[in-house]
Chains A and B, each alone.
Chain A
Amino acid sequence: MSTNIFAREHKIQAQQTRVSYYFLLPALLFFVVFVALPMGMGVYTSFFKYTMSEFKFIGIDNYLNLFKDEIFVRSVKNTLIIVVGSVPIVTIFSLWLATIIYNMNSFSRSFFRAVYYLPVVTGSVAVVVVWKWIFDRYYGILNFVLQGLGIINKNVAWLGQVDTAIWCILTILLTTSVGQPIVLYVASLGNIDRSLTEAAEVDGATSFQVFWRIKWPTIMPTTLYVVVITTINSFQCFALIQLLTNGGPAFSTSTVMFYLYHNAFKLFEYGYANAMGVVLAILIGVFSALQFKVMGNKIDY
């Protein structure tokens, strides 16, 4: 009797597994062919001197060279500046804006939400080219306005100077990054239990305490999501740099992603570029894991 049940259960289990894999097949196919396989090839070829005409095993030389390559180190630094700079700003800024927007009437709420989402739907390339025009040294409106206000007395090459180019990049990144978080925060502020906040206020809690004790825990999952998504997007920022500064001046805006592309498509150093890809993947992995560890332990999934 009991063996019978086991056998039946086993059969059901096997059938379930088979069915499941039928359903998984399309997704798995795409995943294996277009993600796992290239990743494997990338890791494998990162151990080769791999150029347009050469393919020679060189062990971990590519990786060793990476850390001797000052441009790569510079690019890692820039990438971290962009990530570390943009993630907190995007998170705090969008939360702040969301709280203001949330307290508005529904028309203004829709209006401002749309405004902040506008750069996202405009499309990254369109946004970059218009900002390029705005920042243009000779034709840009920014120079005109600032000169009119007497803040600068001659045209500034915003994208051509080490101390301004990275800020231009960060500004644009910011405008394209806060749209989604604001929408998310406005939605998640709506999930806060009103009775709790009111009770707390009656008990004489300051608005800061109300925010910290009651609202913050509720929006924590959203914050984690925002942080993770912004991190990934910031790591991936490429169009911005390729179209705006070409990594310059003097590599002050070169990121790992840009330098990787550069090595593959300008210098034909495919193996070396792949080694960069692997390092970048590890970097992103470490960052995401850290974020989950720091913020994730308070959240249930």
Chain B
Amino acid sequence: MDKAKLTPYRLISTLLLVAVSLTFIFPFYWIITGAFKTRDAIMAKIPEFFPSVWSMENFDKLFINPAWQWFANAVIVSFASMILVCLTASMAGYVLAKKRFAGRALLFSMFVAAMALPKQVVLVPLVNLVSSMNMHDTLWAAILPSVGWPFGIFLMKQFAEGIPGSLMEASRIDGANEWQTFVQIVVPMLKPAFGALAIFTFINTWNDYFLQLVMLVKRSNLTISLGVATLQGEYSTDYGLIMAGAALGAVPIVAIFVAFQNAFTQGIALGAVKG
């Protein structure tokens, strides 16, 4: 690409880059190999960098627990949050960008102010509230509160501002009502934004631990993150088993990420450049 000058600076920094990369790859490598190590290998005085015996014993132990259920729950929670966020945020972001109405400025600044607010701050009230709605310890309790977080609205608004007003005007002249205009004109224009927000929300929810920790209690209701944390509590230094759980949670997402890396990174970058 660039002029390939091999300056000492570039040489050293590339070497450093590779060295630092190892710190980022190693944990993932250690999860995968650890998951297949035997109990003896895990506890050996001299660790095996590469398993000498590939064993399924950790997975056998893992699936005594409802691990698939945990995985499915995590997928459900992440997908549901993703869909709800995209839906609510696109509608709100669109009008905030394109309509002039009473209270707009106030609402928008309120959303922006709340963006930095971590969910944890409202921990106890949130649990009480969810409880009063009879939702505690259901997957909804881990989904709905995360939809309230207004980052998506902000993102969608930034995107929607780029939609030419003339398009919507034309649609209206053709006799489309507001909803039709939104679905037929605005939504297609917001496609990249949907991509960005969907990825962002999915990963955020997948990585969320705190909200799920206080909202989900029953073993069959846990997500894979919570499940792995629970295994850690129950089996403490039985690292092979814990890595098996971690691998179950991590591998599918990493695989999706590797397969769609460009879409991913574009989405993330778009989201931020606009946001």
Contact = CB atoms under 8 A, between A and B. Distances in A.
A101 B125 contact: no
Nearest to B9: A207
Contacts of A162: none
Nearest to A99: B13
B182 A123 contact: no
A130 B126 CA distance: 31
Interface string A56-72: 00000000000000000
Nearest to B89: A27
A280 B246 contact: no
A97 B113 CA distance: 31
A228 B51 CA distance: 42
B216 to A, nearest CB: 13
B228 interface: yes
Given A34-B147, A235-B118, A280-B121, A118 B89 contact: no
Contact of A187 (B30, B107, B122, B273): B273
B218 interface: no
A133 B238 CA distance: 10
A34 B144 contact: yes
A236 B208 CA distance: 11
A209 interface: no
Contact of B129 (A16, A27, A33, A97): A33
The size bracket of the interface on A is: 35 or more
A125 interface: yes
B237 interface: yes
Interface in A115-168: 115-127, 129-134, 136, 138-139, 141, 144
A125 B228 contact: yes
B209 A239 contact: yes
A interface majority secondary structure: helix
A220 interface: no
Interface in B82-107: 84, 87-89, 91-92, 94-96, 99-104, 107
A221 B158 CA distance: 14
Given A130-B246, A284-B116, A124 B124 contact: no
Contact of B237 (A33, A138, A284): A138
Interface of B: 1-2, 10, 13-14, 17, 20-21, 23-28, 30-31, 34, 42-43, 46-47, 84, 87-89, 91-92, 94-96, 99-104, 107, 111, 113-114, 116-118, 120-126, 128-129, 144-145, 147-150, 153, 178, 182, 203, 206-207, 209-210, 214, 224-226, 228-229, 232, 237, 239, 242-243, 246-247, 249-250, 253-254, 257-258, 261-262, 264-266, 268-270, 272-273, 275
Top 5 A-B pairs, shortest CB-CB distance: A34-B148, A187-B269, A27-B92, A41-B125, A126-B246
